[in-house]
Amino acid sequence: MPMFCAVYGCSNRSNREATRSFYRVPKVVVHRGEKSKQLTEKRRRKWLENLRLLSKGAESNNACVCSDHFVNGRPSDVNDSESVDWAPTVHLGYQKGKPVSEVPRKREKMMMAMDDQHQDGARALLDHHWTNKNIKQDDTDMLHGRQDD
Ligand SMILES: [Zn+2]
């Protein structure tokens, strides 16, 4: 059975791409103790996150990633969690295309920018108010001074 690369926008498949290797999304290892389970769980999540496969759930059980998506052409050892190739990071498609998750992030940025402007506006208003108040106080003092005469 040919293996298809699960990366968005990557059409490599094992029966066509003799020069490429294909790597299955790592499974969670449960029978080698708690530490191994946690590590493999973390790794699987990272792969699915990087591949944007989170929503596909069970479908991603047999998903494969081709060697194009690893800096060194293959995933690192599961224990080598500091390696750049612990999970696929190269040519992940959605970086060029239109990723779904970019939209809310952009909107968030806009909101933040608007908040900044709003705060600046409020500060300017406050400054204005403060200046007016000072002027008014001065006026009153001057008036008082006149009255004292
Ligand atoms: Zn691929």
Where exactly are the structural domains of the chain?
1-98, 101-149
52 CA to middle of ligand 1, Å?
Answer: 13
139 CA to middle of ligand 1, Å?
Answer: 76
45 CA to middle of ligand 1, Å?
Answer: 18
Q: Are strands 22-24 and 64-66 parallel, antiparallel or unpaired?
A: antiparallel
More confident site: 104 or 11: 11
pLDDT score recorded for residue 35: 96
Q: How far apart are CA 25 and CA 104, in angstroms?
A: 27
142 CA to middle of ligand 1, Å?
Answer: 80
Q: How far apart are CA 38 and CA 86, in angstroms?
A: 15
Phi-psi region of 33 (alpha: psi -120 to 50; beta: other; left: phi over 0): left
pLDDT tens track for 114-139 = 666 666 666 666 666 555 555 555 55
Q: Mean per-residue pLDDT for 37-64? A: 81
Contact 25, 51 (CB under 8 A): yes
pLDDT tens track for 6-26 = 888 888 988 887 889 999 999
More confident site: 10 or 93: 10
**18-38: b (≥16 Cβ within 10 Å) or e:** eebbbbebbeebeeeeeeeee
Nearest C-alpha neighbor of 25 from the set 95, 72, 87, 79: 87
22 CA to middle of ligand 1, Å?
Answer: 8
